[in-house]
A and B are shown apart, each in its own frame.
Chain A
Amino acid sequence: DAGITQSPRHKVTETGTPVTLRCHQTENHRYMYWYRQDPGHGLRLIHYSYGVKDTDKGEVSDGYSVSRSKTEDFLLTLESATSSQTSVYFCAIREEGPYGYTFGSGTRLTVV
């Protein structure tokens, strides 16, 4: 899917530990996004980036931080994981021109 890869695909972690999820793209797109998906809530935006070192908060950013030191990588960090952060996390890129959005395959994170 448009060269977008998320890692890891699955992770189980303990409450209070830091966790970093990685999104990697191969097509040099400027805009990248992190969403979380929860039943009854759809997808909610956590953070997004509009260029290297340029990021902004979404609607559910508390407890999360991001970094983008290279165009191709957008990292999501849970600073101290909590059970409420158990979710499926999706990365997306915004393609130029037709304004399409392409999503990665997702990371299923379980915090125990």
Chain B
Amino acid sequence: AQSVAQPEDQVNVAEGNPLTVKCTYSVSGNPYLFWYVQYPNRGLQFLLKYITGDNLVKGSYGFEAEFNKSQTSFHLKKPSALVSDSALYFCAVREKDGNNRLAFGKGNQVVVIP
């Protein structure tokens, strides 16, 4: 079965500094990987996904993520954080040839300090 680990409960970063949210995954075969963001009292919004091809994926709002197969990681990054980036971030994985289930990590609260 697939699983995701997001090791940090909360990430604090100063506005303007680089932001990194870590994610490692476990699947039997090849993965499809996703990042979602959730603002207070809202649903999940899609940020970006890795399906195949270039390991560096660019997404919405200036976010990007790098797929690293050897380290089974898919860390989310943003070069310069904004206060408005403060939210809950979820990493998710699905097996490419698996059961169509999307498994989520527990989420990381990102706090951008003005």
Contacts and interface: CB of A to CB of B under 8 A. Distances in A.
A48 B99 CA distance: 10
Contact of A94 (B43, B46, B100, B106): B100
Interface residues of B, number: 23
Given A43-B90, A56-B99, A106-B43, 18 more contacts: A1-B43, A31-B100, A33-B101, A41-B106, A42-B105, A42-B106, A43-B44, A43-B92, A45-B102, A48-B101, A92-B102, A94-B100, A94-B102, A99-B32, A99-B94, A104-B43, A105-B42, A105-B43
Interface of A: 1, 31, 33, 35, 40-45, 48, 50, 56, 58, 90, 92, 94, 98-106
Interface of B: 4, 6, 32, 34, 36, 42-44, 46, 49, 51, 90, 92, 94, 99-107
